[in-house]
């Protein structure tokens, strides 16, 4: 494939780094249920979960900028209008989740009077929101619900990529792979 048939190296690095960060953050969120409350291990898991969520937010912003400023490489063979519309809608949903989930995480953490400290470097995120038990509870409920919905959106994204590759036999997936 020629370079114009792939996303730029930067977009691919941002995509796959986001993938690793999201997968790890989700695994930590699920695994924390197996670690007793109030333990240093559980606190460390949650600090890593929050740090990875913030990393996802930082990574998605340039991706959105690039997506808005540069056309994606064309898909060969081209998609039907209906499939193209569903793909665009799914990507908008993915980007919305990648922005909203980390922001909700910050809100629920800070409203719950907990600090967000970045592991390894020890930097503490400035406090933007004061203690508010009701806000904490509502934000946590929405964060958890959206997290469960996000699993389905991610699954749809992965299944669509596989369908494009093996079913439609177009180059949708190959555009995001090294090459």
pLDDT tens, residue by residue, 14-37: 999 999 999 999 999 999 989 999
Across the range 116-136, mean pLDDT stands at 92
Residues with Cβ < 8 Å from 46, sequence gap 6 or more?
28, 32
Q: How far is CA 102 from the centre of its chain?
A: 9
Which structural domains are found in the chain, ordered by start?
A: 8-176 (1.20.950.20)
Residue-level pLDDT at 3: 47
Residue-level pLDDT at 160: 94
Q: How far apart are CA 106 and CA 85, in angstroms?
A: 32
Please give the structure tokens belonging to residue 179. Answer: 């090459």
For residues 178 and 12, is the Cβ–Cβ distance under 8 A? yes
Confidence band, pLDDT 50/70/90 cuts, at residue 129: very high
* ω into 86 cis (within 30 of 0): no
DSSP secondary structure letters along 94-146: HHHHHHHHHHHHHHHHHHTT---B-TTT--BPPP-S---HHHHHHHHHHHHHH
- For residue range 79-102, what is the model confidence (pLDDT) as tens digits? 999 999 999 999 999 999 999 999
The residue ranking higher by pLDDT, 4 or 18, is 18
Output Rg (C-alpha) for the chain, integer angstroms: 18
Across the range 96-109, mean pLDDT stands at 97
Q: How far apart are CA 152 and CA 133, in angstroms?
A: 29
For residues 98 and 14, is the Cβ–Cβ distance under 8 A? no
Q: How far apart are CA 7 and CA 15, in angstroms?
A: 10
Confidence band, pLDDT 50/70/90 cuts, at residue 173: very high
């Amino acid at each position: 494939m020629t370079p114009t048939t792939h996303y730029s190296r930067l977009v691919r690095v941002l995509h796959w780094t986001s993938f690793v960060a999201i997968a790890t953050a989700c695994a930590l969120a699920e695994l924390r249920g197996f670690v007793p409350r109030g333990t240093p291990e559980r606190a460390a898991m949650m600090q890593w979960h929050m740090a990875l969520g913030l990393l996802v937010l930082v990574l998605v912003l340039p991706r959105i900028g690039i997506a808005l400023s540069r056309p994606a490489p064309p898909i060969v063979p081209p998609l039907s209008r209906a499939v193209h519309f569903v793909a665009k809608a799914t990507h908008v949903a993915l980007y919305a989740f990648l922005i909203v989930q980390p922001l909700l995480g910050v809100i629920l953490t800070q409203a719950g009077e907990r600090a967000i400290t970045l592991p390894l470097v020890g930097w503490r995120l400035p406090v933007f929101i004061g203690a508010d038990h009701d806000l904490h509870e509502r934000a946590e409920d929405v964060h958890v619900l959206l997290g469960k919905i996000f699993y389905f959106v991610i699954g749809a994204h992965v299944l669509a990529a596989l369908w494009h590759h093996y079913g439609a036999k177009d180059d949708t997936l190959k555009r995001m792979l090294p090459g």
